[in-house]
Amino acid sequence: MRGAFRAFCLTLLLTGAARAAEPVVPRTVLALVDLREEEIVRLTRVHSLAEMPLNHLGLSVVYWNVADGLPDLSRYPDLRGVLTWFTGEPFANAEAYIGWATAAMDRGLRFAVLGEPGIRASTGGRAVPMALVNRFLARFGLRDDDGYSDLTYKSKPALADSMIGYERGLIGVLPGYPLFRKTDDRFVSHLVLRRGGDPGSDSHLVVTGPAGGLAAEGYTRHYDPEINRRLWILDPFAFFRETFATDDLPKPDVTTLSGRRMYFSHIDGDGWRNVTEVAPYAKDKTLSADMVRIAAIEPFPELPVSVAPIVGDVDAAWKGTPESRGAMNRLFALPQVEPASHTWTHPFQWAFFQDYTPQKEAVFKSREGDPDAGVLDKMLGRNRPDHAGEGGEGANIGRYAIPRAYLETPFDLDQEIGGALAYFTKAAPDGKTATLVQWSGDTSPFETALAAVRKAGGHNMNGGDARFDADYPSVTTVPPIGRAVGAEQQIYSAGSNENTYTDLWTNRFYGFQNLVNTLRNTDSPIRLKPFNIYYHMYSGQKAASVNALRRNLSFARASELAPVAASTYARIAEGFYKIRFAPAGEKRWRVLDRGALTTLRFDAASFTAVDFTRSTGVLGQRHAQGSLYVALDPAVVEPVVALAEVERADVDPPAAQPYLIDGRWAFFGRQTEGNGFRVGATGYGEGAMVWRVPAPGRYTVTAERDGAVLWTGTAEAGADHRLSVTVAASAIRPLTLRVAPVAR
């Protein structure tokens, strides 16, 4: 028996090693950045502008600081290409970089070059021979005659196709530009400028082709310093799609679940102990946390929300009171509420604690001001002396008055992360576990803090602050899924909280109602983000903010969504960075290491459908916005997805087995039973769903849990084979659906 067990373990090890070694579809882009210029990855052009479109196209981005030399490409086994976006000459040895890049392209890696190529001179000012410069540019079908047009009043576009003018056209005075001649017809020109009507002066400034793509400095995006706004000139989705050839790449999708836009909501605990001003509750000194529960959570039982208090606000040994603790207990008891953590002491600037010592923080204890002040007051310094934070250690924490809200004991990372999760798990009713850390303050945790979440068995989220509305009219303010921090990954929230709508909670307390504009713009014409309502407990303080919050929730109630807990979204987003695709035949892939991610997207796929005869572990499919969304079965560890062409795009693709078109719940473990099926389900609110069944006719639908029937009904599948039903049962605890044709 022991020998058999050892053999079994060896088989598992060998299988795992084989899985790790098998070829996968490359989906990693290596971004070369110069942190001498851009300081930190979070502020780079690549992260703030390019990474979101790349994520949308299914690509994950890793970063390399060129100040550390040139990277060893063997460290990146699934590398698809390289991206650069320089404004100058960042390489100490530009000739070495040209040789490195040429060798990489010889291996088949595709390059996206935005802005300056970084090849004309080394950092010391030594010019690179023009022959060597042109050896690099020839890879993009171009030649540089060492000319430059700085007077552009006679220059006009000879060609500007649909890739140009995405958010801002070529208006006003054109930026100066290099004179790039085209030498290779395999490359497609998207922008050509011509001087004085002379074709001999044509300069090809945006091109894509076999080696990738190049877009010249000044013709990627426009920046208006007066209003601090950036707008894309270049269509980043189209440019990166062509540059990295992503058409045939399965896209891991974090916006959609069960064929519907995913919904989640989460609340940071700031303002928990504030007294509401909302009548008639103000006279009873109702806390903002209770006001949020009364006005925005209890009336919307079908919309889950993750509530993250600060331990310091609720624990009696810190600043907790019977009222603040009672507010937590009442919230955690609600079925739709997931307990989460907003840390123990609410750090404001996480970098301050990366090399923490109690002595470093001691200077702030005399500056803390009113110890009973709220977290936001302490952040803004409303209760501190005028001199607090000036000079000395205060200069290290930016706009924050003190480094964290509560300074009673020395900072303890384990207490801040794992300790707080354990605290809220213990405070929650049986069966509920706090696993989500919602970052506080500047939401910029260091690597060790992120690792502490993972080691505690938790997940993390916050940061990003997505806006896309009249005040922020550009996808440049829609962030990527998250950011790499060393070997760890921070997951961003999918929307901005009320702070950015209210000038950091100083005026326009109604402003959060404008969230609906970002929600609309990030769903159409392409779905960029899930539906996220993210706010703080101080939204329960003002009547205007409560009304704004309720407007957003009402908009959610009226929308077609698939609601989940915020920790579920965080786990799905983690899966984006880990998922791998192993080719398994013509238009067929085995899906590996996807974690909680359950949706794949295929673009330009109106005449493409799942081939169920060659697929396993696929629950359903739905066409939307020209894309095909494929729902994977969470019960199948390694699904296989195969595609086939279909003749019609105006009907649901036919199949010999039932499949999900869309649903409010999440489904798992579907098993076909004749022309019917059974499937597990979990979710919030009544279960509205649409399935395609093999045969028209009447079907019975039964919801069961633990052998007991919770609900039963009937539904009719018409000639279109669509079976639409709303199951009036609670699926917060998983249940089983049985769908069977009625015998005639």
| Tens-place pLDDT, residues 5-61 | 344 344 434 344 445 567 999 999 999 999 999 989 999 999 999 999 999 999 999
Beta-carbon neighbour count of residue 81 at 10 Å? 25
The dihedrals phi and psi of 497, each to the nearest 5 degrees, come to -85, 180
pLDDT, tens digit, 9 for 90 and up, residues 697-722: 999 999 999 999 999 999 999 999 99
- On the question of pLDDT at 378 being above 70, the answer is no
Position 646 scores a pLDDT of 96
Span 142-163, mean pLDDT? 94
Q: Which residue has the higher pLDDT, 373 or 734?
A: 734
Peptide bond into 280 cis (omega under 30): yes
Residues 6+ apart with CB under 8 A from 483: 41, 42, 47, 463, 489, 490, 492
pLDDT, tens digit, 9 for 90 and up, residues 541-566: 999 999 999 999 999 999 999 999 99
Round to whole Å and give the CA distance between 709 and 10.
Answer: 45
Rounded to 5°, angle at Cα 350 from 346 and 354: 125
In sequence order, the β-bridge partners of residue 658 are: none
Instruction: Supply the mean pLDDT for the chain.
Output: 92
Position 610 scores a pLDDT of 98
Round to whole Å and give the CA distance between 492 and 573.
Answer: 9
Position 15 scores a pLDDT of 42
- On the question of pLDDT at 391 being above 50, the answer is no
Provide the percentage of residues in the chain whose pLDDT is more than 70: 92
Tokens for 340? Answer: 């989460």
What confidence category does residue 674 fall into, taking pLDDT thresholds of 50, 70 and 90?
confident
Position 397 scores a pLDDT of 45
Q: Which residue has the higher pLDDT, 401 or 726?
A: 726
Judging by beta carbons within 10 Å of its beta carbon (0-12, 13-18, 19+), is residue 342 exposed, middle or buried?
buried
Positive or negative, the Cα torsion across 9, 10, 13, 19?
A: negative
Position 215 scores a pLDDT of 98
Quickly list H helices, 473-557.
515-521, 543-557
- On the question of pLDDT at 3 being above 60, the answer is no
Beta-carbon neighbour count of residue 704 at 10 Å? 16
Secondary structure letter of residue 635 according to DSSP:
T
Tokens for 70? Answer: 């040139």
CB distance 498 to 541 below 8 Å: no
Span 432-440, mean pLDDT? 98
Round to whole Å and give the CA distance between 306 and 460.
Answer: 12
- H-helix or E-strand containing 447? helix 447-455
Tokens for 381? Answer: 């310094």
Specify the pTM. 0.93
Per the rule left: phi > 0, alpha: psi between -120 and 50, beta: everything else, 587 is left
CB distance 147 to 194 below 8 Å: no
Position 157 scores a pLDDT of 97
What confidence category does residue 228 fall into, taking pLDDT thresholds of 50, 70 and 90?
confident
Rounded to 5°, angle at Cα 244 from 240 and 245: 105
Quickly list H helices, 298-446.
311-314, 322-332, 358-362, 375-380, 413-414, 420-427
Beta-carbon neighbour count of residue 653 at 10 Å? 20
Round to whole Å and give the CA distance between 509 and 23.
Answer: 53
In sequence order, the β-bridge partners of residue 708 are: 705
Tokens for 330? Answer: 């009442």
Secondary structure letter of residue 308 according to DSSP:
E
What confidence category does residue 307 fall into, taking pLDDT thresholds of 50, 70 and 90?
very high
Q: Which residue has the higher pLDDT, 145 or 416?
A: 416
- On the question of pLDDT at 396 being above 50, the answer is no
Tokens for 456? Answer: 């505690």
Residues 6+ apart with CB under 8 A from 28: 59, 60, 61, 62, 76, 78, 79, 80
In sequence order, the β-bridge partners of residue 529 are: none
Amino acid in position 676: G
